[in-house]
Amino acid sequence: MSDLPHQPNAAATPRRRYAIVGLGSRRELYQDGIEKVHSRWAELVAVCDSNPGRIELARARSARNGARVPPGYAAADFDRMLSECRPDVVIVATIDSAHHGYLIRAMQAGCDVITEKPMTTEAAHCRQILETCRQTGRHCRVTFNYRYSPPRSQVKELLMSGVIGEVLSVDFHWLLNTHHGADYFRRWHAQKRNSGGLFVHKSTHHFDLVNWWLGAVPVAVAATGKREFYTPAMARRMGLSGPHERCATCPETAACGFHLDLRSSPGLKALYLDQEQHDGYWRDRCVFRPDIDIEDTLNALVTYDTGATLSYSLNAFNAWEGYTVAFNGTKGRLEHSVVESVYVNGTETVQGGVSADGVRLRIIPLRSTGYEIAPWSAEGDHGGGDRLMLEDIFLPEAGPDRFLRKADERAGACSILVGIAANQSLVTGARVQLADLIGELPPPDFAPMPSRAAPVPMPPRPA
Ligand SMILES: NC(=O)c1ccc[n+]([C@@H]2O[C@H](COP(=O)([O-])OP(=O)(O)OC[C@H]3O[C@@H](n4cnc5c(N)ncnc54)[C@H](O)[C@@H]3O)[C@@H](O)[C@H]2O)c1
């Protein structure tokens, strides 16, 4: 299957020094990647968070991992952490709206940075990040782990091969079920000021996939959206007396199918319930409460610099979890779908987990019979994508990657700006040009795709 990073010479390679800011559930992937899997090439030299309880949890995990326990720093001491611990690379995994400040300060202090998606939530902050990269010459990497999922890399290979010719349009529909989907409405994600809403927080993965799959830069977006399921009215229609504040104090737990008991999962209890005394953050807020301001139903129409178009939807209260995507090309159609298993962030459930029969790939040439293609697979979270991405991050001499999956600030910008433009379109009702948000958008590096000028074979006449 795809090219993977190869093992470098351990003796000749000094370990890179990493610091992590933002010590919630996603941090565990990076911490274990550094301390357990790639400790020959990487060491964790500092951790930082606004919650002192989660700082201590991260330090305790280092001890369990058999690694040197890193010093912990409060968020207010981030700059002191940089000067005292001198990390080469800062990994940013805070809530989305706090990414930009840490990215910019770390690069200005001479560090490279790795940021969780979305790179940031606002166009002005995106401009500042791009500008800081230019001024400092430091590297900013955006961890688009979805690119590394084997069937999605396989889609890239098929599109690069030209088997369906040049892609003229894409239909992409993402479904979140009422376990994973509902979880966004309980947490900090439920406020746009924290997450940018699902068009930014969640769809950044999907818009990045399309940008990367097509090797194209988005130009304009029109969108619609609403919240009609996670609402006080829906709580009443489902037989509750109305929304409540949080699950821990809810008077109607027996009647509510969305009840989440933080004590039921050791991970949730340790990470959130036991730490709420420090910052008042409740991980189990009512999914029907009125102060939620994100949408649960989103549609966007996106145009690209190649002329290709995308019809996209995201639904957060669906009967199943996964997606369908179809590429309509000059020589045929590629259809791909994935049915994922149940996932709740911070629990033992596997994000992006798929069963062997949950992945489909099909090519239908114009005027010919379609055929199935056996999907590539790998073990682990996000269909094995997380493990492959960590190898690409931490191994010092990554092998050549013909899919160019490594994403930088340009790819981070191209993806979030589609979501930010879509949010703007929700407010104004108008189609939004990305250039109006950002000025000139530097194009990311893409692997070569079938030429738009290539001759197109005449399809055979119907038999
Ligand atoms: N790539 C993926 O598939 C994936 C999956 C999950 C999360 N994520 C991303 O990872 C990031 C973290 O998500 P999570 O699920 O771990 O959330 P979380 O709520 O579990 O953790 C967030 C952490 O950030 C800390 N924090 C909040 N504001 C801060 C600030 N101003 N300064 C320092 N620390 C601050 C919180 O105390 C908490 O420890 C988000 O950007 C999210 O989008 C990505």
Residue 210, Cβ density class (10 Å: 0-12 exposed, 13-18 middle, ≥19 buried): buried
Whole-number pLDDT of residue 3 = 43
Q: Residue 144 CA: which ligand 1 atom is closest?
A: 1
Each residue of 76-111: pLDDT tens digit?
999 999 999 999 999 999 999 999 999 999 999 999
| Distance (Å) of CA 142 to CA 20, 53, 135, 198, 258 | 14, 27, 18, 18, 33
The residues pairing with 340 across neighbouring beta strands, listed in sequence order, are: 321, 354
Architecture per CATH, domain 16-143, reads as: 3-Layer(aba) Sandwich (3.40)
Angle, helices 203-214 vs 409-428, to 10°: value is 120
Q: Residue 22 CA: which ligand 1 atom is closest?
A: 24
Whole-number pLDDT of residue 7 = 56
Q: Residue 281 CA: which ligand 1 atom is closest?
A: 37
Cβ count within 10 A of residue 435? 12
Contact 304, 446 (CB under 8 A): no
Q: Is the CB of 92 under 6 A from ligand 1?
A: no
Query: 3-state DSSP call for residue 219?
Result: strand
DSSP annotation string for 312-375: EEEEEEESSEEEEEEEEESSEEEEEEEEEPP--TTSSSPTT-EEEEEEEEEEEETTS--EE-PP
Contact 67, 20 (CB under 8 A): no
**CA 96 to ligand 1 centroid distance, Å:** 7
Q: Which residue ranges of the chain lie beneath pLDDT 70?
A: 1-12, 342-344, 346-356, 381-383
Q: Is the CB of 91 under 6 A from ligand 1?
A: no
Whole-number pLDDT of residue 178 = 96
Whole-number pLDDT of residue 8 = 56
**CA 143 to ligand 1 centroid distance, Å:** 13
Q: Is the CB of 268 under 6 A from ligand 1?
A: no
Q: Residue 98 CA: which ligand 1 atom is closest?
A: 31
Each residue of 21-32: pLDDT tens digit?
999 999 999 999
**CA 90 to ligand 1 centroid distance, Å:** 14
Query: 3-state DSSP call for residue 175?
Result: strand
Whole-number pLDDT of residue 354 = 66
Ligand 1 pocket test target in 21, 23, 25, 26 with most atoms within 8 Å of CB: 26
Q: Residue 279 CA: which ligand 1 atom is closest?
A: 37
**CA 197 to ligand 1 centroid distance, Å:** 15
Q: For residue 327, which phi and psi values (nearest 5 degrees)?
A: -110, 125
Q: Is the CB of 208 under 6 A from ligand 1?
A: no
Whole-number pLDDT of residue 2 = 40
Cα 343 from Cα 21, distance rounded (Å)? 24
* Residues whose CB is less than 8 angstroms from the CB of residue 293 and which lie 6 or more positions away in sequence, other chains included: 190, 191, 192, 197
Q: Residue 283 CA: which ligand 1 atom is closest?
A: 19
CATH 3.40.50.720 placement within the chain: 16-143
**CA 419 to ligand 1 centroid distance, Å:** 19
Each residue of 217-233: pLDDT tens digit?
999 999 999 999 999 99
Sheet containing 42-49, strands listed edge to edge, beginning at the edge strand earlier in sequence: 72-74, 42-49, 16-21, 89-92, 112-115, 140-142, 407-408
Cα 428 from Cα 222, distance rounded (Å)? 10
Instruction: Give the angle 120-122-124 at the CA atoms, nearest 5°.
Output: 110
* Residues whose CB is less than 8 angstroms from the CB of residue 257 and which lie 6 or more positions away in sequence, other chains included: 178, 238
Q: Is the CB of 97 under 6 A from ligand 1?
A: no
**CA 189 to ligand 1 centroid distance, Å:** 10
Architecture per CATH, domain 146-229+292-438, reads as: 2-Layer Sandwich (3.30)
Tell me which residue has its CA closest to atom 11 in ligand 1. 93
- Tokens 């008991």, residue? 261
